């Protein structure tokens, strides 16, 4: 089964790195708060960008600096705008309010894990939010229309340490 070993890092806003459980419950004394992320690529564009797996986000969000700036995507060539009944679509993430285009990508994106030579998950026809410049600066991989559909996310105690190990299987 192909799998991406995900990067595990501290929370995006690290005010509290973990919850301590007092008294312990069933041997559980702490709950580490971590972000799970992978690398996102869009060949033939060089380089990779961090993409945070956000199981609380309904859709994938691509920052304006990525889709319009780095990738220079254009409607009709790289994505199709999806018609919706609402005139202006608004999002709210991490204290930022922004508008976005709901789009289905014509170009594939690839997700890569910790092993640069390992499996890559190719996402064709990704449905996502293309955020305006006021949107979040991070790429967030959401539940619907993309990285999680038909896949399994597993987070476990890291056998090599006291933290977490995570992977995305398909």
Q: Is the pTM of this model over 0.75?
A: yes
Do residues 126 and 102 touch, judged by C-beta distance below 8 A?
no
Among all chains, which residue has been given the structure tokens 């993409």? 51
| Distance between start and end Cα atoms, the chain | 6
Which pLDDT score, from 0 to 100, does residue 14 have?
A: 66
Query: Residue ranges of the domains in the chain?
Result: 3-169
Which CATH architecture does the domain made up of 3-169 adopt?
Answer: Beta Barrel (2.40)
Cα pseudo-dihedral 52, 55, 60, 63, rounded to 10: -40
Which pLDDT score, from 0 to 100, does residue 11 have?
A: 79
Q: Name, in order, each residue with C-beta under 8 angstroms of 109's C-beta and a sequence gap of 6 or more.
A: 40, 41, 42, 122, 123, 126
Please name which of 39, 46, 40, 37 lies closest in space to residue 10, comparing C-alpha atoms: 37
Q: What is the pLDDT along the chain (170 residues), one digit of tens a residue?
A: 899 999 999 877 667 788 889 999 888 887 778 899 999 999 999 999 999 999 889 999 999 999 999 999 999 999 999 998 877 899 998 789 999 999 999 999 999 999 989 999 999 999 999 999 999 999 999 999 889 999 999 998 888 877 889 999 99
């Amino acid at each position: 089964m192909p799998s991406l070993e995900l990067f595990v890092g501290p929370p995006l806003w690290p005010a509290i790195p973990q919850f301590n459980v007092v008294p312990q419950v069933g041997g559980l004394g702490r709950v580490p708060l971590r972000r799970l992320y992978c690398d996102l690529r869009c060949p033939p564009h060089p380089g990779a960008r961090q993409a945070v797996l956000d199981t609380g986000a309904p859709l994938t969000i691509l920052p304006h600096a990525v889709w319009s700036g780095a990738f220079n995507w254009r409607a009709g060539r790289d994505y199709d705008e999806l018609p919706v009944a609402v005139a202006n679509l608004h999002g709210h993430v991490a204290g930022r309010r922004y508008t976005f285009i709901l789009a289905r990508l014509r170009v594939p994106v690839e997700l890569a894990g910790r092993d640069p030579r390992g499996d890559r998950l190719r996402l064709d026809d990704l449905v996502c939010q293309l955020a305006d410049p006021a949107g979040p600066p991070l790429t967030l991989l959401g539940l619907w229309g993309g990285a999680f559909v038909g896949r399994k996310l597993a987070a476990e105690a890291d056998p090599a340490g006291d933290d977490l190990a995570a992977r995305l299987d398909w």
